[in-house]
Amino acid sequence: MSLYTFPFDSAEKPEHDRLGGKCTSLAIMTGAGMPVPPGFAVTTESYDAVVNDPKLQAHIKEILAGLDPDNVADLDHRSAQIRELILTQPVPEEVYAEVHTAYAKLMELCGGEVPVAVRSSATAEDLPDASFAGQQDTYLWIIGEQHVLQKIRECWASLYTARAITYRLANNIADEGLSIAVAVQKMVNSRSSGVAMTIDPANGDRTKIVIDSSWGLGEMVVSGEVTPDNFVLDKIMMSVVNRIISDKHEELVPTGHGSIARQEVEEPRRSSSSLSEDEIMAVAKLAKAAEKHYGTVQDVEWAIDADLPEGQNVLLLQSRPETVWSQKKVETKIASAGSGIEAITKSMLASMNRS
């Protein structure tokens, strides 16, 4: 068991106190068969090992002594001072070694050095709210270990932004026991992506999973700028019952530095299936897992990551409840209601008329 890091696909039980809200949820989703982009948490123990150093704590206390929260310039100044201390505080060797190993393992899985996102993962009401945390402490497209380590420190230091400090003062939250975890997560490099619904949106049939898929990022599928491939699977048997391979003329691809390029798709790729047989099944499984996890029909955004090995490359980006059909009661139209000979005869004749 690692103390200072926690991979999202760890077999261990994710503990909120150690991982914070964001990382706990990422680990729970991965464990429930909804693999999010791979990564790891830098646990609150790491923060504690670095920031709870008594000398540093004494120093922080000293800086905050006699603070007037209404004096904005002074507050900003003190906040910057503390954050600078956290950013330069020496990191114990064992913490560094574990983060180094976790990062190296992640890069190995991705087949080389790829960009990651570094985000803070708060444990409690230490920060005003989740969205605040999200806005402040999300660093995207970070490349290289030194940069990643730097961003992890920035996430730690974010507990002492001017706003965080005044929030704690206003709500009477003590600085003692303050801690934070950090998520380091692969940036998705979409080779193919799209949406999957755990219902047939054409007729409300709840025994189907319907997948729309195209090359590159999913935006063009969602906006309707490209006609995606369409796969219909039977949810119970998990087999493809219908497929339409479309002419997918354009794609959006990430350039690796946060920007997106729009490009034409050449033959034969444009008229080839954007998912392999195994990938179709993996996307369907992911959608089914999401439906099971949330207990209701789901509308899932997913991607196939070009950097990840086969079998681990299908990623869940977002899952939300489907709202159209799950609200209304599905009326299945049947030629022969009831059973017995009358119904049998009726449906036999109906089937003749259909053919």
Partner 1 sequence: MAPKAAKSFPSPYSMKTPKGAEGWQELYPYYLTFQDNLKKQEEAKFWFCDSQHWPNVFKPFEVIGVEFASRCLGAYNTRHYIIPPANGIDFRIHMGYNYFSPVGVAPELIGDRVPHFMERAGHYFQNWTELLENWRKDVLSNIAEIDAINFTALPDMVPIEDIKGGKGMDPSVQLFDDYDRLISLCYKNWERHFEFLNLGYVAYLDLFMFCKEAFPGIPDLAIAKMVMGVDSVLFRPDDELKTLADLAVKLGLTDLFTGDDAAKVLGAVEGHSNGAQWLAAFEKAQDPWFNYTVGNGFYGTDVYWRDNLDLPVGYISDYVARAAKGERLHRPKDELIAERDRITEGYADALDGEAKETFMGKLGLARVVYPYVEDHNFYIEHWTMGVFWRKVRQLGQLLADQGFWANADDILYLSRDEVRPAMFDYANAWAVGTEPIGPTYWPTEVARRTKIINALATQRPAPAFNEPPAEIVEPFTVMLWGITTDQVQQWLGADSGLKNGLKGMAASGGVVEGKARVITSPDQLGELIQGEILVAPVTAPSWGPVFGKISATVTDIGGMMSHAAIVCREYGLPAVTGTGKASTTIKTGMLLRVDGTNGTVEILSK
Residues in contact with partner 1 by CB under 8 A are: 200, 203, 205-208, 232, 234-242, 329-345, 347-352, 355
- Provide, rounded to whole angstroms, the least separation between the CB of residue 199 and partner 1: 9
SS3 at position 155 = helix
Q: In what order do the strands lie in the sheet with 298-305?
A: 239-244, 229-234, 208-215, 190-197, 298-305, 314-321
Decide: helix, strand or coil at residue 88: helix
Query: Quick one: DSSP state of residue 106?
Result: H
- Closest by CA to 164, choosing from 78, 55, 90, is 78
State the nearest-atom distance from the C-beta of 279 to partner 1, in Å: 14
Smallest distance from the beta carbon of 348 to partner 1, in angstroms? 6
Choose between 18 and 208: whose C-beta lies nearer to partner 1. 208
Q: CA nearest 248: which of 224, 230, 229?
A: 229
Cβ proximity to partner 1: between 157 and 197 the closer is 197
What residues pair up with 208 in beta bridges, in sequence order?
234
Which residues sit opposite 190 in a β-bridge? 305
Q: How many CA atoms lie within 13 A of 337 on its CB side?
A: 3
Token digits of residue 326: 């799950």
- Residue 269 CB, nearest distance to partner 1 (Å)? 17
In this complex, which beta carbon is closest to partner 1, that of residue 71 or of residue 203? Answer: 203
Residue in this structure with the two tokens 């429930």, named with its chain if needed: 32
**Token reading at 283:** 């996307």
- Smallest distance from partner 1 to CB 320, Å: 21
Which is closer to partner 1, CB of 133 or CB of 280? Answer: 280
Residue count (the chain): 355
Q: Nearest distance from residue 240's CB to partner 1, in Å?
A: 6
Nearer to partner 1, 58 or 335 (CB): 335
Tokens at 173, concatenated: 């939250």
Buried b (16+ CB within 10 A) or exposed e, 36-71: bbbbbbbbbbbbbbbbeeeebeeebeebbeeeeeee
- By beta-carbon proximity to partner 1, the closer residue of 175 and 234 is 234
- C-beta of 318 vs 345, nearer to partner 1: 345
CB of 78 to partner 1, least distance (A): 60
